[in-house]
Copies of this chain bind each other. A is one copy, B any other.
Amino acid sequence: MSQINRQILLASRPKGEVTPENFRLVETALAPLTDGQVRVRNHFLSLDPYMRGRMNDSKSYAASQPLDAVMIGGTVGEVVESRNDHFKVGDKVVGMGGWQEFQTVDATQRGVLQKVDTTHIPLSAYLGAVGMPGVTAWYGLVKIINPKAGETVVVSAASGAVGSAVGQLAKARGARAVGIAGGADKCAYVVNELGFDACIDYKQHGDVKALSTALKAACPDGIDGYFENVGGYILDAVLLRANAFSRVAMCGMISGYDGQPIPMAAPQLILVNRMKVEGFIVSEHMEVWPEALKELGGLVAAGKLKYRETVAQGLQSAPEAFMGLLKGRNFGKQLVKLVG
């Protein structure tokens, strides 16, 4: 009796906001493995803002997601069947399994699956603080912002998987960490649980002027580094408080993924303040992953890098959870739990 794999495909490209109709859930029979292949039962699927860019046909981050193919996505899971000497049943692995319950891959290709150690680090953390979001935070903070002790680092989407790591890594380097997040509960968490020096609720400061006033209060010595996760008026407000020689790591611009234009109001501030603004995609900097993961894994195992997860249950919940992520409804790393 062949087993059934449930999968979510990209059914159509969004025009503006993502809708449930952009996705289609299908059931597919699992074929027998061939030599070299490994079958993984995915325990957790990672939902990330970059997926929105992949859903477009236009030039965006890396390649477009093909239509009628399984949605791309990071996964952690357990090997349930193997015809590959390097993987045995029961191994915990991280990979790009996509929005589906089972992943069948030729694991002879280097890097397709990575075994992970869950002795001191929970399996799901390899999709968050000790995975792509954590390394994203590490790269932007360490390689672009590179804060000196005493400098002020601001990060938007501060309670999210990337933002929460940015601030904690900044604090570990002696910098002042100021978050921007949506809602009093997220801001309280960022300050009280994650240890940021301050957090601004952008929902209480809905335009450039109000937000820049709040930033002035939270950053009395100005802003030396900004880790950009959202774009739009938040970036404009930060630029108004940027110090000379400040650095902006551009990691995400969620508010632009739906295709609407989001101009930068005053780009001349980049010149006036002699700033450096740099965009990056962490998958293009594989050379830093070992160093970054070593620090991140050590901090998580020691309880010094905290994170929160929002977990949706079952594959069928992925589209709605993803739409919620794009609207900031998640609190911390957005996962979909596919087992149990």
Chain A contacts to B: CB under 8 angstroms: 53, 59-61, 228, 231, 235, 250-253, 256, 261-268, 270-281, 284
Contacts and interface: CB of A to CB of B under 8 A. Distances in A.
B277 A284 contact: no
Given A235-B267, A264-B267, 13 more contacts: A53-B272, A228-B271, A231-B267, A253-B271, A262-B266, A262-B267, A263-B266, A270-B277, A270-B278, A270-B279, A273-B279, A274-B284, A276-B278
A274 B136 CA distance: 14
A265 B265 CA distance: 8
Contacts of A271: 61, 228, 250-253, 279
A221 B228 CA distance: 29
Residue with the greatest number of chain B CB neighbours at <10 A, chosen from A53, A251, A280? A280
Contacts of A60: 272
Residue with the greatest number of chain B CB neighbours at <10 A, chosen from A59, A228, A276, A277? A277
A262 to B, nearest CB: 7
Contacts of A272: 53, 59-61, 279
Residue with the greatest number of chain B CB neighbours at <10 A, chosen from A59, A271, A276, A279? A271
B274 A280 contact: yes
Contacts of A251: 271
3 nearest CB pairs, A to B: A271-B279, A263-B263, A264-B267
A61 B273 CA distance: 8
A231 B268 contact: yes
Number of copies: 2
Contacts of A231: 267-268
A259 to B, nearest CB: 10
Nearest to A265: B263
Contacts of A273: 279
A265 B276 contact: no
A261 B250 contact: no
18 contacts: A59-B272, A61-B272, A231-B268, A250-B271, A252-B271, A253-B268, A256-B268, A261-B265, A262-B267, A263-B267, A267-B267, A270-B277, A270-B279, A274-B278, A274-B280, A274-B281, A274-B284, A275-B279
A208 B270 CA distance: 21
A322 to B, nearest CB: 20
A271 B279 CA distance: 4
A262 B277 CA distance: 18
Nearest to A244: B284
A271 B277 CA distance: 9
Given A263-B264, A264-B263, A265-B261, A250 B270 contact: yes
A266 B277 contact: no
A253 B272 CA distance: 10
Contacts of A275: 278-279
Contacts of A252: 271
Nearest to A144: B276
A282 to B, nearest CB: 10
Contacts of A276: 276-279
Given A253-B267, A261-B265, A264-B263, A277 B278 contact: yes
